[in-house]
Structure 1
Amino acid sequence: MCGAPKQGGSLAGIDLTTQTVIQGSVWHDGAPVAGAFVRLLDSTDEFTAEVVASPEGEFRFFAAPGAWKVRALAPVGKGERTLAAEVGLNETTVAVA
């Protein structure tokens, strides 16, 4: 069986001095979007990974430092956000419309 890892939770035990973490949440009309498909794309728009947002709309990826695009797809709409991720915690919010 294949599936996305459970989203949210603590970063306890993660060494943020060596790891690049991209995490955030998906929102629509002032509320979190549970179950949105959240994709991580590299600087050439190549698909890298996908997770399903938690009931609180949260997502998390472990990636390399660099330019990334986070795209969210949900029944209420879609949205995306670009960011330059550095080693450590990189937080973002994706609004879907």
Structure 2
Amino acid sequence: MCAAPKQGQNIPAGVDVEKETVLTGQVVDGGGTPVSGAFVRLLDSTGEFTAEVVASATGDFRFFAAPGTWTLRALSAQGNGDVTIAPDAPGIHSQDVAVAR
């Protein structure tokens, strides 16, 4: 079976993923449908707010962070959701966030 990579997660030119830690993903509802316009927050290992972005029309989001433990929190009209991600090295690290009421 052949699978194409997820679209919409293009990394800007000049970003060296050998040195940068990039957290990407998609906000989805319980049925796996992308949730556009969700607020996605990046919280550090102590739960402290670090950054926030708005998910794209296809539910995609991206943060530049450091290796460590992070919480991705999505807030939307379709519900909210949290997920923990713990990249231990630079590179692209993908984690979707499912939201529910």
1:19: which partner in 2?
A: 20
- Partner of 1:5 in structure 2? none
How many Å apart are 1:10 and its aligned residue? 1.8
Letter in 1 for 2:38: A
TM-score using structure 2 length: 0.85
Q: Distance in 2 between matches of 1:47 and 1:9?
A: 23
Task: Indicate the RMSD between aligned Cα atoms, in angstroms.
Answer: 1.1
Q: Does 1:88 align with 2:79?
A: no
The answer for the alignment partner of 1:52 in structure 2 is: 54
Moved over 4 A (4+): none
Query: Alpha-carbon deviation of 1:14?
Result: 1.5
Segments of structure 2 that go 5 or more residues without pairing to the other structure are 1-7
- Equivalent in the alignment of 2:81: 79
1:14-65 per-position Cα deviation (integer Å, ceiling 9, x unaligned): 1110000000000002210000000000000000000000000000000011
In proportion to residue count, which structure has more strand?
1
CA distance in 2, matches of 1:68, 1:75: 23
- SS in structure 1 at match of 2:85: strand
- TM-score, normalised to structure 1's length? 0.88
Report the 3-state secondary structure (helix = DSSP H, G, I; strand = E; otherwise coil) of the residue aligned with 2:86.
strand
Matched letter for residue 86 of structure 2: A
Q: Answer whether contact 2:26 2:97 (CA < 8 A) is retained.
A: yes
Larger radius of gyration: 2
Identity %: 58
Distance 1:64 1:20 in 2: 6
